[in-house]
Structure 1
Amino acid sequence: MINKKRPGFLCIVLLFLVADFYCYGNNKAIAKWHKKELTFVSHKSYSNPVYEVDFFGVEFFSPSGERFVSRGFWDGENTWKVRFMPNQTGKWRFTTICSDDSNLSLNQIEGSFQCTRNRSTHDIYQRGALLHPAGSYHLEHDDGKPFLYIGCTAWNGGLYSTPEEWDLYLSNRKKHGYSVIQLVTTQWRGALHNAENETAFTGTERIMVNPSFFKRMDERIDRINAYGLVAAPVMLWAWGDMSPGVSLPERAAIKLAEYILARYDANHVIWNLGGDGHYLDEHEKRWKKIGREVFGKNNHQRLVTLHPRGLSWYGSAYNDEKWLNIISYQTGHANSQTVIRWKTQGPVATTWMNLSPRPIIDTEPVYENGNNADEVRKSAYWSIFAAPVAGVSYGSHTLWPWLRKGDKPINHGEKEPSSITWYDALFHEGSIQIGYLASFFRNIDWWKLFPANHLLKEQPGLLNHARWQSVLASDNKAFILVYLPVQEAVKLNLPQTKSYGAKWFDTTNNKFLKASPEQHSDVLEYHSPVESDAILMLFKKN
């Protein structure tokens, strides 16, 4: 047995630690709101590090004295890393923490680095990480600027894309006003492995993570942020026996989620703990426990949501879950009567005001197939008008699985080889028109708008679901939006005609048109000049 009390042994250990510290750039400066990575080499090996080292991380102290703790992760062989996003310029100090306190190369290592002013032009770096302000229904940057969630669904993008494809995709999404990229971070029912035929983990009762798999994902998530976009990674897809949210028992699922948290919490991300899951009834206890363990007991910097299966509303059941910051929902892939009634008259529209304030976002409305842009567009607008405005997502049947010509999606029914590729989907009409939606809302104070269907004198949607009109208004009704899914008239209980200016927004062609009112006693009536769906904008004159 080695006598660790011998001075010679301690000197050798100290020499290794000092060499590691400077060799791996742990003291290197980093810009504010960027990811700082610390690297350590363990002089002790573990057969399954995820279990044998229950916790490894770093305690950070900011220049102003704030304390943060970040979980670290094993990155293959004897390499361990900790990632952290500093929120202040100046000198930061840190000390490592390891549950195996006998490991002198991972435990109680001290150091410091400088955080410098950020020179990036992107909002995520200039304005800071995303927050959910208490009592609000929207997201905003650290400096208080509201953030509109406009998501694009690329579930398999991180798993299958080449670096060149990924850059092409991200530059296009940025150009068209998208702000969030939704992707899966492990094998799941839609991708049994990545392009290199690797999986994120093996085993069930006791998993073994594969750092090589995640190094590909590191590159894809870093590139999302490099374009000024926010990543929305799914940790535990929860539909299909081959998906980790289903196949793994609670303890293994928590271990996997903690590992993913450690790798990407220093990126600009919004966490999807589960994907396509059923989080109620007999599954509710399991998912609440996983959420509380992963996010309740671990220090983390980023926001959290759950992506559920279609027409599933967990908002009420999870209202007291402190770790949950955003309520996501999914309305399926067709504007059927059932779906439209559910999103316009169901739990989203009727219960949001009774819950603790959180952003409420449809992260999977109707998917585009190349010839259903009207359906895609209407689905998105009905969703964004159903609750206080926070955002909405877009998806395509060829984009989410990252199909190349002749490919078929995996485990999603019998499909013919696709003649439409992921790249083609970027230029579909619906994909472009969601960009129009993003631009329209970003040019108004969207975070001040709340559902106000009571302003309608008549609701055509009660007779025909496809004619459902939706209203948003500011508290003082100084600004009002009315969404008309078809060309017809809208009647509003607004007696003061002369106090409002008005115009129409053509959602298909991204154009504004004049609006002329008709006054009938205490009712204000407008007839849409747009052949498809449109938005009537009313604003009080000064």
Structure 2
Amino acid sequence: MMGEITISKNKRHFQKGDRNFFYLADTVWSAFTNASFSEWQEYLDYRKMQGFNALQINILPQWDASGSDIDIQAFVVKADGTFDFFKLNEAYFDRAEKMIAMAVERGFLPALVLLWCNFVPDTWSDKIKKCDKMPLSAIENYVKCVAATFSKYNPIYIISGDSDFPTQLAKSYYGKALALIKKLSPECLTTMHIQGRLMELPEEYTKEDGIDFYMYQSGHNTDFRHMAYVMANHFYHKKNMKPVLNSEPCYDQMGFSRRIYGRFTTFDVRKAAWQSVLSGASAGITYGAHGIWSWHKPGKNFGATGEGFDKPYYWRDALKFEGAWDYSFLKWIFETYDLFDLKPQNLIANTTEEIRMAMKTDRSVVLVYMPSNTTLTINDDLSEYSFDIIDLTTKRFAKPVIQYIKGQTIMQMHNFHADVLFLGTRR
């Protein structure tokens, strides 16, 4: 079984027992409704081999999942095709529990969403598609079932899914679910998965006895790629200090939202990851592959509900996307160099915010992510450090050419052709 995950004393990262824990999650929102047990085993074994240690799953049916061969629902379906939210389908939750047991046996931390936005009135999803809304009075029975089914596995509970909080009614749903799961499962960490690029949470959720850490979503809109680092910095500097992670950067091979032509590449998702973790979201990172999250199979429909994305890949093809290895490598860097206490630095002299820099708080390690080659100037004398350049495409290491002039550190253009990480260790 997965050991209990807790928050570090400095409120910046996670711990598993007495060891630091870097949260590396994969996005499998639709697993409970779409994956067979044999497929699930195949998937888990591959992601375990890659070094992933957490899985983000929607407890209820994902509203924009791909079509499924598995005909099972979380609630009894009434004659008119709508859910009877007061009658839970025991077979659904038994099946979901078996899938979680399989994951936990392999060392994964489940991160389970309680209420995706389409089940809650007044959220942004109402403007896209009218869906069944769970009555407020049905939440208690549902959350009790969730706690009885899953809490023995020490999951993280993600109270909201892709949600905004526009009205008191919407906030009351999430507030009720949060208070109840805290009461029933006080040992489980809680958080909110919020709408893409949303930067504020209602104050009642962020106080000391509210959620335990911040998740943000930089999202899949090609015009807002900078939000990966903007939002990291924003949440890092919150008055109520908590660990921060980007729970939904752009997904590998996801079509741009709003039906704009084009897809996010391996470089795009790698860039979002490094910019996030070096800008304040250093508690972990979540990967997503377009075809895994919706669990897509050939011949099945994909309705592009929500933000409107192009067709996904077959899940077995998406499982092998290169971006997952990049995220695994990022985790390896964090664990190898003990980067669990990073502080973002505003020392880059180049006229761009795309280059991101962080240091350990004791200044023993410095990292700079540079997405495109140029001469790099840092407003600090870093002559006491030994630097390597890591080509993040090939994972090759090289030595930079460095000058130290009038208190600045100047890294000359390197010989690699894509994004790199400068990694300096103090001599």
Which range, TM-score by smaller chain?
Answer: 0.7 to 0.9
Give the distance between the partners of 2:67 and 2:210, measured in 1 at CA.
30
Give the distance between the partners of 2:381 and 2:309, measured in 1 at CA.
55
Partner of 1:60: none
Partner of 2:209: 322
Partner of 2:324: 431
Alpha-carbon contact 1:335-1:379 (below 8 Å) kept: no
Partner of 1:361: 245
Alpha-carbon contact 2:30-2:61 (below 8 Å) kept: no
Partner of 2:29: 155
Give the distance between the partners of 2:338 and 2:359, measured in 1 at CA.
11
Deviation at 1:321, TM superposition (A): 5.3
Deviations 1:182-241 (A, max 9, x none): 111222413599754221113768611111111110111111111111111112111346
Helix, strand or coil for the counterpart of 1:491?
A: strand
- CA distance 1:303–1:133, shift in 2 (3 Å): same
Q: Work out whether 1:174 is the aligned partner of 2:29.
A: no
Give the distance between the partners of 1:183 and 1:436, measured in 2 at CA.
23
Partner of 1:293: 179
- CA distance 1:411–1:516, shift in 2 (3 Å): closer
- CA distance 1:366–1:221, shift in 2 (3 Å): same
Alignment partner of 1:534 out of 402, 415, 420? 420
Q: Work out whether 1:302 is the aligned partner of 2:195.
A: no
Deviations 1:20-40 (A, max 9, x none): xxxxxxxxxxxxxx4xxxxxx
Deviation at 1:459, TM superposition (A): 3.7
Deviation at 1:456, TM superposition (A): 1.9
- CA distance 1:157–1:382, shift in 2 (3 Å): same
Alpha-carbon contact 2:159-2:174 (below 8 Å) kept: no
Higher relative contact order (CA 8 A, sep 6+): 2
Q: Work out whether 1:510 is the aligned partner of 2:399.
A: no
Alpha-carbon contact 2:151-2:185 (below 8 Å) kept: no
Helix, strand or coil for the counterpart of 1:308?
A: coil
Alignment partner of 2:108 out of 206, 223, 229? 229
Deviations 1:49-78 (A, max 9, x none): xxxxxxxxxxxxxxxxxxxxxxxxxxxxxx
Partner of 2:257: none
- CA distance 1:245–1:383, shift in 2 (3 Å): farther
Partner of 1:278: 164
Deviations 1:72-129 (A, max 9, x none): xxxxxxxxxxxxxxxxxxxxxxxxxxxxxxxxxxxxxxxxxxxxxxxxxxxx3xxx31
Partner of 1:87: none
Give the distance between the partners of 1:197 and 1:153, measured in 2 at CA.
22
Partner of 2:39: 165
Helix, strand or coil for the counterpart of 2:410?
A: strand
Residue identity opposite 1:354 in structure 2: K
- CA distance 1:164–1:205, shift in 2 (3 Å): closer
Helix, strand or coil for the counterpart of 2:64?
A: coil
Give the CA RMSD over aligned residues.
Answer: 2.7
Give the distance between the partners of 1:234 and 1:516, measured in 2 at CA.
48
Alpha-carbon contact 1:151-1:182 (below 8 Å) kept: yes
Give the distance between the partners of 2:130 and 2:7, measured in 1 at CA.
28
- CA distance 1:243–1:160, shift in 2 (3 Å): farther
Alpha-carbon contact 2:349-2:377 (below 8 Å) kept: yes
Deviations 1:135-188 (A, max 9, x none): 32111012x211111111111122211121111111111111111111112224
Alpha-carbon contact 1:334-1:375 (below 8 Å) kept: no
Deviation at 1:251, TM superposition (A): 2.3
Larger radius of gyration: 1
- CA distance 1:223–1:206, shift in 2 (3 Å): closer
Alignment partner of 2:218 out of 331, 342, 350? 331
- CA distance 1:201–1:316, shift in 2 (3 Å): closer
Deviation at 1:272, TM superposition (A): 1.1
Partner of 2:142: 256
372-381 or 193-202, larger mean C-alpha shift: 193-202
Q: Work out whether 1:400 is the aligned partner of 2:293.
A: yes
Q: Work out whether 1:137 is the aligned partner of 2:12.
A: yes
Give the distance between the partners of 2:169 and 2:425, measured in 1 at CA.
46
Alignment partner of 2:379 out of 493, 508, 512? 493
Alpha-carbon contact 2:276-2:282 (below 8 Å) kept: no
Helix, strand or coil for the counterpart of 1:532?
A: coil
Give the distance between the partners of 2:294 and 2:44, measured in 1 at CA.
16
Alignment partner of 2:280 out of 382, 387, 405? 387
Give the distance between the partners of 1:507 and 1:446, measured in 2 at CA.
18
Residue identity opposite 1:247 in structure 2: K
Alignment partner of 1:521 out of 406, 409, 416? 406
Give the distance between the partners of 1:355 and 1:409, measured in 2 at CA.
41
- CA distance 1:412–1:428, shift in 2 (3 Å): same
Give the distance between the partners of 2:154 and 2:179, measured in 1 at CA.
22
Alignment partner of 2:151 out of 251, 256, 265? 265
Residue identity opposite 1:160 in structure 2: N
Alignment partner of 1:377 out of 267, 270, 285? 270
Q: Identity over aligned residues, as a percent?
A: 22
Give the distance between the partners of 2:393 and 2:12, measured in 1 at CA.
27
Q: TM-score, normalised by structure 2?
A: 0.86
Residue identity opposite 2:89 in structure 1: N
Deviation at 1:398, TM superposition (A): 1.0
- CA distance 1:210–1:152, shift in 2 (3 Å): same
Helix, strand or coil for the counterpart of 1:307?
A: coil
Give the distance between the partners of 1:364 and 1:249, measured in 2 at CA.
28
Helix, strand or coil for the counterpart of 1:146?
A: strand
Give the distance between the partners of 1:293 and 1:473, measured in 2 at CA.
37
Give the distance between the partners of 1:176 and 1:248, measured in 2 at CA.
38
- CA distance 1:330–1:213, shift in 2 (3 Å): same
- CA distance 1:395–1:388, shift in 2 (3 Å): closer
Deviation at 1:407, TM superposition (A): 2.1
Deviation at 1:268, TM superposition (A): 3.6
Give the distance between the partners of 1:186 and 1:273, measured in 2 at CA.
12
Deviation at 1:316, TM superposition (A): 6.9
**What runs of 5+ residues in structure 1 fail to find an aligned partner?**
1-33, 35-123, 462-467
Residue identity opposite 1:358 in structure 2: K
Deviation at 1:460, TM superposition (A): 2.1
Q: TM-score, normalised by structure 1?
A: 0.69
Helix, strand or coil for the counterpart of 1:518?
A: strand
Residue identity opposite 2:90 in structure 1: P
